[in-house]
Structure 1
Amino acid sequence: MAAKNLPYTDYRPPIKHNFNFVIPRFLRYIVIVGVATLCLFTPFYFDLQITVQRRGGSQKLPEVIKQDTRCKPHLPSQLTLLQSLSPSDPALLSHGRALDHVVRNRVAKGDIDSVVMGIIGPNGILWSRGYGITRANETGALDSPNENSIYRIASISKLYATLETFILRDRGALTWDDPVTLFYPNFTYKPYGWREHLAREEFGASSSEARHLEPITLRQLASHMSGIGRDYPSQNFDDWPHVPPSFKSPGNSFTPEGTYPQKPEILQAIAENPLVAPPYSYPIYSNTGFSLLGWCISLADAALNGNSITYAELIKRDIFVPLGMNGSSFLLSKEQAKHMAFPRNGSEADYDMTDAHNSAGGQMSSLSDLAQTIRALLNPEGHRLLSRYSLREWLRPLHVFPDNLTQVGLAWEIQKVFDSHGRAQSYYAKSGNLRYYHSQVSINAELGFGVVVLMAGRFSDSSWFTKRAIDLFQPVFEHKLEETTQNLYGGKWVGNAADGENLVTLVVSNGSLWVTKCIINGDDLLDLYTGGTPLTLWSTGRLHEFRVAVGRAELNSDSSIGCFSYWATFDGFNSHGAPIDLIYFSAQSHGLSLHFPSANVTLLRKS
């Protein structure tokens, strides 16, 4: 029955009233005053008694940590690789049952033929379930989908085009800022806007055509920042707003039905039309741009290796085979066809989107295969597809929308989700939609997990399932990372008494790692720098290495400054050849040692 209290269920408990007894009026006042007093003072009592009951002892938290601190750095994401989460973890099982309840209720509405979804960690699938009927187009079929069921993933294909571009960049075949003209010397577009394009006589042709063409680069193509329109050549309906029933909205125009335009037609359409907006203005979602990206990287690979292969062969060679993605392809083999999920309506599974469009939306994959990709991004040491440099570059936004919610990266559709501490967690996602296939992949690199949803049917919002999965599972991964961090670093660290007084106390609170006491060679550094206010530790991205976020005392509490006073003051100066804000840990036979190298101090954790 616990699931009834979870968000997004349709269950509403009945309201029950009992009028079988009457409380005298004076007793009502006593009860009301008593309850109000209890409500008023209980929070203060518990606020004063907040403690941390983890390794390192029971520690009362300073008042500043309990406050809504404006800048709360994330805990070290590298520690997610040290966690021992498994599919049998009680918290995962419990939250999985809750999600199962929510999904079953939604699938029962009848507009979803099948859906399979999973929660992925750095070491593989932690939870997965399949619902509905895999081959909904067959009479009498009853089997539900599983991890190996194959779906068309539509625009999730764009992630693989981007991944391949990074792979080729790491090999020296190209750079992200290479212009399209490096691969297609005759590539061009109209250098003016649509207002001028539709009124050529008013503006005059000669001055417009003499304008300089700003370069369109691979980076712009992958981030939808090139300004190239959605689907070229554009469909034209002179009877608009009356359009054919099959064309429900501009967002549904990319579909396997019909004859696909090929490279010459597409390049000509780009040349004949103005851009939607100048390059680097803001993202304009462009299937055409990703088709063009696929052509360019295929040419870059051919120049590097001396032989030409198709885009599909390129992705198979560099991604599918190394990751063991046996269910992924652009055309189904006989063996793969046995595992294909079919919607009740339509026959999109059989379409060949051709090499001209495969990089934009032609791929088919399974939950198991997509999980391998997520593992490679969460645990690059286990899969050497990308350099760590490229991975850090990829998991970054390139455009921030003014909604305080969404951003765009290289293929990523980034969404903020606030965690238990009111801090934004970034989910790097990519969705894919055809008429009857809908999918989404979403990754939280800070907490070390991802969500995959593959779906067939009329219902098109795959993010509905992703949101519910994140709501239920994110707290599990938050808690696990906090527990891991506290167990590794939390507690009192003391030095050799002969070296003078040295004491550092660390605690995980409010989602960050805090220094609550720092006495080095007898000097109280917190008192010296912040008047006693605790400071956070920022991971450098290297295992066991941190910088103390000292900031500027007069600015740290200014809510309008945010994190600026901290990141702007790192690495101020050195002492004994090391930065004064550096703290790191090293593994010894007895466990970890804490090093404060700028003071030549080493500390051990007090048991």
Structure 2
Amino acid sequence: MVPILRASSLFLFFSSAWSFTPCPLLGPSFPPFTLDPSDKVVGSALKNLTARFDNLTKSSTGSHGDISPKTTFSIALFSSDDGSAEDKPFFWDYHHTAPALKEKSSSSNKVVRNTTDDSIYRIGGLTHVFTLWSLLNQTADQHIFDDPVSKHLPELVNKDSAKDDVIGHVQWEDITVGQLASHMAGVARDYCSSDLTSQKNAPKAGLPPRQAYSLPCCGENSKCSTSDFLKHISGRMPVVAPGASPSYSNLAFQLLGYIVEKQAKKPFNEVLEADIFKALKLHETSVFAPKDSSKGIIPVSKEASGWSTRFGGDEASISMFSSVKDMAIAGKAILNSELLSQTQTNRWLKPATFTSNPANTVGYPWVIYTDSRAYPQGPIINTYTVLSNEGDHESLYSSYLGLVPDYGVGFIILSADTKKPADLNAHADIIGDELLEALIKSSLLQATENFRGGYAASNKHLNSSISVKSDKLPGLFVEDIISNGTNFRDTLAQLTGVKKSKDLSIRLYPTQLVEKTTKGSKQAFRAVLQDKTESADGGTPTCVSWLDLDKFQYAGRGLDEFIFTLDKTGHAVSVEIPALQVILDKKK
């Protein structure tokens, strides 16, 4: 898997003759904006996106490599903001039915419908997101992440294994629920589905002769109980030491599913059905294949494609089916914290550990791609993804979910192939090329329109004012600031040790603290104060503005705190500077 956004367009957009290197806060560089697909910038990007996928499906090759002509796929882009009020939960979609799918179906006298937004695909590993979502929804906080797994599943503790046998047996008392959720538990990747013992030609491939090896795989028709299943898992060997390295594990999510069941005191599929599917009205989403397959995209056959493949216990790992329409609804709900609190979502959408690739980190259960090519002149963009491609020995389906919280957008790609599961990175990279650059430009333009201008105290005797402006660098900036007749830039320069006040940079970044009001909203910003003549952090690649937040206070309020009041159209009407005990109205 490779990072999305491999093109250099973002860097070219932000690169210029800027000599000043801003040091923004983590998070969005600009305040929340309204996504309008008919906007000139975004609309043009969506037209380009359609054209590029048209060319990709015709030629099976593009700027990010080749794709299989046998792949049928559906894509949807969605936003946390309703924008210009769409009837559907997404603002762009694209569907392609591969000729190979129709050919295969014609030979079996089966009629294939063209793919649409309600076409159902197997989504496999994207089940992980719903498992963790349901766990967070059940527990109402993330303190459970710190619990040892053995607290919730004591059956895992193998009393016959020695405590010092760290290579031969998983030490379940040392593994936390959070490590299961972030692929940091060091446990086996799969339980039954990937074992090759059952393959008749194994010896021809150089493997030992088949031996009597039986796993209670708990198939659909078996009578294997959860206790039997956990008892066998308890004897498995670890892959790596707990907390040492991320190691992808479907088995970990099977265990999380059992924890959800214990918390809810009902079967996992019933928890998802009641708490997520029904709550969000996900009509094409199910645990295991839907009984009515008329909307299904089924290449070759149900058996050969993996549509009907089912292992007991995998309800919480690779079992689910959905459509791009339903997944767009789900993605919007995550971005908007519809089922969780905003605080829970903020914790959920954060990294848990590094990988050996400095551009990638791992979350719960996200693989987070960090695009920093535009840094320091442009924003750092983190895309939270889950890619499911279980391999052609299990299914012919692939799926890709991506969320970009800083811009409130996401994408979903679902696919099926007649030969092998598709590599969807080329599709995701094209989305990144066109969409994110447009969103950055649009957010900058809207921030300029909504916030830029002069603000002054209504009491002219007070003589307090500021001037807010924007450029192509991250954040807004304060050009002039007068407090009670005093050039407050001079005061701030003295406090921060900047010799010449004109060299002081005062850039404003949103803190994501937003309050809805009857007339609009209030949005809090913090100012980052820097000397424009000095290299950022002495020429090192670090950025330490977070160390100085709230550093200088007056009467208990930070001198770097700015609170804008916006009307219902999103335009700023005033700004409060609490430390200066003043509210400044925007000049008309």
Task: After TM superposition, give the deviation of residue 477 of structure 1 in Å.
Answer: 1.1
Give the 3-state SS of the residue equivalent to 1:138 in structure 2.
helix
Q: Compared with structure 1, are the counterparts of its residues 174 and 497 closer, same or farther at alpha carbon in structure 2 (3 Å cutoff)?
A: closer
Q: Contact 1:298/1:311 (CA < 8 Å) preserved in 2? A: yes
Q: For residue 560 of structure 1, what is the aligned residue in structure 2?
A: 540
Task: After TM superposition, give the deviation of residue 313 of structure 1 in Å.
Answer: 1.2
Task: After TM superposition, give the deviation of residue 127 of structure 1 in Å.
Answer: 0.8
TM-score (norm 2): 0.78
User: Comparing 321-330 with 530-539, which one deviates more in the overlay?
Assistant: 530-539
- Structure 2 gaps of 5+ residues are 8-14, 62-66, 83-88, 209-216, 515-522
Q: Compared with structure 1, are the counterparts of its residues 334 and 290 closer, same or farther at alpha carbon in structure 2 (3 Å cutoff)?
A: closer
Matching residue within 108, 117, 121 for 2:75: 117
Q: For residue 452 of structure 1, what is the aligned residue in structure 2?
A: 412
Q: Contact 1:112/1:459 (CA < 8 Å) preserved in 2? A: no
Q: Compared with structure 1, are the counterparts of its residues 83 and 519 closer, same or farther at alpha carbon in structure 2 (3 Å cutoff)?
A: farther
Q: For residue 365 of structure 1, what is the aligned residue in structure 2?
A: 322
- Structure 1 gaps of 5+ residues are 1-5, 9-46, 51-62, 198-208, 245-253, 303-308
Deviations 1:247-289 (A, max 9, x none): xxxxxxx9x9999987456434433233222221111111111
Alignment of 1:530-541 (within 5 A): 530=498, 531=500, 532-541=503-512
Task: After TM superposition, give the deviation of residue 423 of structure 1 in Å.
Answer: 3.6
Task: After TM superposition, give the deviation of residue 187 of structure 1 in Å.
Answer: 1.4
Matching residue within 335, 351, 365 for 2:309: 351
Q: For residue 117 of structure 2, what is the aligned residue in structure 1?
A: 147
Q: For residue 485 of structure 1, what is the aligned residue in structure 2?
A: 447
Matching residue within 356, 362, 366 for 1:412: 366
Q: Compared with structure 1, are the counterparts of its residues 231 and 331 closer, same or farther at alpha carbon in structure 2 (3 Å cutoff)?
A: closer
Q: Compared with structure 1, are the counterparts of its residues 423 and 87 closer, same or farther at alpha carbon in structure 2 (3 Å cutoff)?
A: closer
Q: For residue 21 of structure 1, what is the aligned residue in structure 2?
A: none
CA–CA separation in structure 2 for the residues paired with 1:490 and 1:320: 43
Equivalent position amino acid for 1:548 in 2: A
Deviations 1:198-242 (A, max 9, x none): xxxxxxxxxxx9x98643222111111111111235736684963
Q: For residue 126 of structure 2, what is the aligned residue in structure 1?
A: 156
1:592 aligns with 2:563: no
Give the 3-state SS of the residue equivalent to 1:563 in structure 2.
coil
Q: Compared with structure 1, are the counterparts of its residues 216 and 535 closer, same or farther at alpha carbon in structure 2 (3 Å cutoff)?
A: same
Give the 3-state SS of the residue equivalent to 1:175 in structure 2.
helix
CA–CA separation in structure 2 for the residues paired with 1:193 and 1:403: 32
Q: Contact 2:23/2:528 (CA < 8 Å) preserved in 1? A: no
Deviations 1:482-523 (A, max 9, x none): 122112212233345421353333324323222233333322
Q: Compared with structure 1, are the counterparts of its residues 597 and 453 closer, same or farther at alpha carbon in structure 2 (3 Å cutoff)?
A: same
CA–CA separation in structure 1 for the residues paired with 2:465 and 2:172: 63
Give the 3-state SS of the residue equivalent to 1:351 in structure 2.
coil
Q: For residue 103 of structure 1, what is the aligned residue in structure 2?
A: 56
CA–CA separation in structure 1 for the residues paired with 2:572 and 2:167: 70
Task: After TM superposition, give the deviation of residue 550 of structure 1 in Å.
Answer: 2.4
Q: Compared with structure 1, are the counterparts of its residues 540 and 341 closer, same or farther at alpha carbon in structure 2 (3 Å cutoff)?
A: same
Matching residue within 531, 554, 571 for 2:550: 571
Equivalent position amino acid for 2:105 in 1: E
Alignment of 1:251-266 (within 5 A): 263-264=226-227, 266=229
**Which has more helix, going by share of residues?**
1
Deviations 1:310-332 (A, max 9, x none): 21111011100111110011234
CA–CA separation in structure 1 for the residues paired with 2:550 and 2:400: 41
Alignment of 1:466-477 (within 5 A): 466-477=428-439
Q: Contact 1:120/1:127 (CA < 8 Å) preserved in 2? A: yes
Q: Compared with structure 1, are the counterparts of its residues 378 and 136 closer, same or farther at alpha carbon in structure 2 (3 Å cutoff)?
A: farther
Give the 3-state SS of the residue equivalent to 2:273 in structure 1.
helix
CA–CA separation in structure 2 for the residues paired with 1:398 and 1:449: 22
Alignment of 1:10-159 (within 5 A): 67-69=20-22, 71=24, 74-75=27-28, 79-80=32-33, 82-85=34-37, 90-105=43-58, 107=60, 111-122=69-80, 123=82, 124-133=89-98, 137-139=104-106, 141=111, 143-159=113-129
Task: After TM superposition, give the deviation of residue 93 of structure 1 in Å.
Answer: 3.5
Equivalent position amino acid for 1:188 in 2: V
Give the 3-state SS of the residue equivalent to 1:472 in structure 2.
helix
Q: For residue 38 of structure 1, what is the aligned residue in structure 2?
A: none
Equivalent position amino acid for 2:371 in 1: V
Equivalent position amino acid for 2:314 in 1: H
Q: Compared with structure 1, are the counterparts of its residues 224 and 72 closer, same or farther at alpha carbon in structure 2 (3 Å cutoff)?
A: closer
1:518 aligns with 2:472: no
Q: Compared with structure 1, are the counterparts of its residues 195 and 394 closer, same or farther at alpha carbon in structure 2 (3 Å cutoff)?
A: closer
Task: After TM superposition, give the deviation of residue 540 of structure 1 in Å.
Answer: 1.7
CA–CA separation in structure 1 for the residues paired with 2:73 and 2:21: 40
The structure that has the greater radius of gyration is 1
Q: Compared with structure 1, are the counterparts of its residues 242 and 112 closer, same or farther at alpha carbon in structure 2 (3 Å cutoff)?
A: farther
Q: Contact 2:385/2:403 (CA < 8 Å) preserved in 1? A: yes
CA RMSD of aligned residues (A): 3.6
User: Comparing 429-438 with 582-591, which one deviates more in the overlay?
Assistant: 582-591
Q: How many residue pairs align between the two structures?
A: 514
Q: For residue 267 of structure 1, what is the aligned residue in structure 2?
A: 230
Give the 3-state SS of the residue equivalent to 2:248 in structure 1.
coil
CA–CA separation in structure 2 for the residues paired with 1:118 and 1:87: 18
User: Comparing 149-158 with 127-136, which one deviates more in the overlay?
Assistant: 127-136
Q: Compared with structure 1, are the counterparts of its residues 560 and 591 closer, same or farther at alpha carbon in structure 2 (3 Å cutoff)?
A: closer
Q: For residue 155 of structure 2, what is the aligned residue in structure 1?
A: 186
Q: Contact 1:180/1:216 (CA < 8 Å) preserved in 2? A: yes
Matching residue within 397, 401, 416 for 2:351: 397
Q: Compared with structure 1, are the counterparts of its residues 243 and 466 closer, same or farther at alpha carbon in structure 2 (3 Å cutoff)?
A: farther
Q: For residue 195 of structure 2, what is the aligned residue in structure 1?
A: 235
CA–CA separation in structure 2 for the residues paired with 1:179 and 1:540: 34
Equivalent position amino acid for 1:445 in 2: P
Task: After TM superposition, give the deviation of residue 72 of structure 1 in Å.
Answer: 6.7
Task: After TM superposition, give the deviation of residue 350 of structure 1 in Å.
Answer: 1.9
Give the 3-state SS of the residue equivalent to 1:343 in structure 2.
coil
